[in-house]
Amino acid sequence: MIANSFEYSSPATLAEALGLIADGAKPLSGGMSLIPMMKLRLASPEHLVDLARLPELNYIREEHGELHIGAAATHHDVENAPLTRGKCPLLAETAAHIGDIQVRNRGTIGGSVAHADPAADYPAALQALEAKIVLRSASGERTVSTADFFIDTFTTALEPGEIVVEVIVPVEPGLTGTSYQKCLQPASGFAIVGVAARVRRDGDNFGPVQIGITGLTGTSYRATAVENALTGKPATEETIRAAAAHAADGVDANSDLHASAEYRASLAVSYTARAIRSALSRSA
Amino acid sequence: MNRTINVSVNGKRHTHEVEPRLLLIHYLREVIGLTGTHMGCETSLCGACTVEVDGKAVKSCTMFAVQADGTEVLTVEGLAAPDGKLHPIQEAFWNEHALQCGFCTPGMIMVSKQILERNPDPTDAEIREGLDGNLCRCTGYQHIVNAVRTAAKAGV
Ligand SMILES: Cc1cc2nc3c(=O)[nH]c(=O)nc-3n(C[C@H](O)[C@H](O)[C@H](O)COP(=O)(O)OP(=O)(O)OC[C@H]3O[C@@H](n4cnc5c(N)ncnc54)[C@H](O)[C@@H]3O)c2cc1C
Ligand code: FES
Ligand code: FES
């Protein structure tokens, strides 16, 4: 399996990279999605610009109560950096569920969100975290919410010439419990369904809750019906079951060789209940 | 357009002009002539092609040689000491019968090295989780897990 011929550039600065991308070159980050597609000739870009080597995109830092994660941060970095582990454990936990050691060593958060695979793991966490995604082109920068960024299968708010430069997530308040629960397809490791939950308590009741779901349909989403059925209700198993039952409400579930639409929707309900239970047990 | 790359492989510097589409595994096997790294699935799933690039285990069938420009690559051939003394992980694979046909072994050994570097005393569950990206069609994995545990005890 040999890719079509292409030109390869590894510019030293982001400005240079954006210039090449404005002229039609395609970004290459970890290559964990793009290279397999090029080998199958499902993608045949004429010019690749390597973003993975740009120090300007490779960082994880804290600023004003938020974590800024450069697009070239690998899944391994996000899984292991003391900042993400300590201050946004949901994102670190989610990164640990991606693929295998070798994939996490090369794959990047920028590449994963830009690729927008409907079975990718990060989107569930980013939805629950209400993350912001920073996009830049040669002509400027803009910030979009996760909800606005993911549009459909392999489709995002990225315009031609634009790249993802950064993902911004909140520093998790100490009392919030979080959890990512994934039913994985054992051969590929991708999510059949993945559910990220953030839970605050309000006395004996559920306080604010955020739930993000991936794998079920064309793109990740916030399960607001579940969230609304939890907040203000007693933090009991009964509430959890009743709320989780809404996980797939109004969603057109995917059907494939691994899981029928009906089974996927039922998995979404079960994994939502697991994620809430687990997040609740970690909340204070 | 061809590009000139400089790569250190098992401590030896190489400079070659390559096509950007040349995969790292083809560079290692066909240009440099190191055939210890195996091409199994060619589709990023089996891990037989695992090598280290700047200390990180990667699947060399899913990386272009140009992406390794300026890096230090370590393949299974680079593990044993110059006098031929096996690396403790190789020794453990031998002693624990962690291979049958041996096709997966170079990748298994390279990923085991990464597992133990990051976690010198892993549980069996952590070893299995670490081997997630590597397939073996012969052993049933138990002897591979035993070998990694033995190598950990030997203090890799
Ligand atoms: C064996 C295997 C198992 C995997 N398992 C999982 C899994 O369980 N869960 C999961 O979520 N993922 C999984 N993946 C996918 C993996 O997470 C990829 O790393 C990720 O999807 C893409 O990131 P990348 O950095 O490799 O991007 P690349 O492959 O380099 O790029 C992907 C796409 O995004 C574009 N792009 C790259 N960077 C940017 C940027 N900064 N801005 C705009 N566009 C950009 C590229 O042009 C390309 O179209 C797996 C991959 C493999 C090979
Ligand atoms: S040959 Fe590279 S993963 Fe199978
Ligand atoms: S020993 Fe034959 S594939 Fe592993």
Residue in chain B closest to A50 (alpha carbons) equals B67
Residue in chain B closest to A38 (alpha carbons) equals B21
Same-domain status, B62 and B112? no
* Ligand located closest to B100 CA: 3
What pLDDT shows up at residue A109? 98
What pLDDT shows up at residue B156? 75
The answer to whether residue B60 is domain-embedded is yes
Same-domain status, B62 and B97? no
Which of B47, B75, B103 is the last residue before a domain boundary? B75
The answer to whether residue B125 is domain-embedded is yes
Ligand 1 probe mutation, B23, B42, B43, B45, most atoms within 8 A of CB: B45
Tens of pLDDT along B85-144? 999 999 999 999 999 999 999 999 999 999 999 999 999 999 999 999 999 999 999 999
| A81 band by pLDDT with thresholds 50, 70 and 90 | very high
CB spacing of A99 vs B133 below 8 angstroms: yes
The count of other CB atoms within 10 Å of the CB of residue A189 is 18
Average predicted confidence (pLDDT) for chain A: 97
Same-domain status, B30 and B93? no
Closest CA to A1 of B33, B51, B43, B134: B43
Domain count, chain B: 2
Tell me the HSE value of A206 on the side-chain side, using a 13 A CA sphere.
Answer: 27
pTM above 0.95, yes or no: yes
The answer to whether residue B80 is domain-embedded is no
CATH number for the domain spanning B148: value is 1.10.150.120
**What are chain A's domains?**
7-50 (3.30.43.10), 55-170 (3.30.465.10), 176-282 (3.30.390.50)
List of residues 6+ apart from A10 with CB closer than 8 A: A49, A50, A53, B66, B69
The answer to whether residue B16 is domain-embedded is yes
* Residues A81-97, mean pLDDT to the nearest whole number: 98
Same-domain status, B43 and B7? yes
Same-domain status, B14 and B55? yes
The answer to whether residue B81 is domain-embedded is no
Query: A60 and A78 in contact (C-beta within 8 Å)?
Result: yes
Same-domain status, B67 and B97? no
Residue A108 has pLDDT above 90, yes or no: yes
Tens of pLDDT along A202-257? 999 999 999 999 999 999 999 999 999 999 999 999 999 999 999 999 999 999 99
DSSP B115: H
Same-domain status, B10 and B70? yes
What pLDDT shows up at residue B155? 84
Q: Closest to B20 (Cβ–Cβ): which among A7, A99, A189? A: A7
The answer to whether residue B82 is domain-embedded is no
* Residues A92-114, mean pLDDT to the nearest whole number: 98
| B1 band by pLDDT with thresholds 50, 70 and 90 | confident
Q: What is the residue range of B66's domain?
A: 3-75
What pLDDT shows up at residue B52? 98
| A1 band by pLDDT with thresholds 50, 70 and 90 | confident
| A123 band by pLDDT with thresholds 50, 70 and 90 | very high
The answer to whether residue B108 is domain-embedded is yes
| A173 band by pLDDT with thresholds 50, 70 and 90 | confident
What pLDDT shows up at residue B128? 97
Q: Does B110 touch chain A (CB under 8 A)?
A: no
Tens of pLDDT along B40-83? 999 999 999 999 999 999 999 999 999 999 999 999 999 999 99
Predicted ipTM > 0.85: yes
Q: Does B42 touch chain A (CB under 8 A)?
A: yes
Same-domain status, B68 and B92? no
Residue that the structure tokens 């794998």 belong to:
A215
CATH number for the domain spanning B57: value is 3.10.20.30
Which of B51, B75, B99 is the last residue before a domain boundary? B75
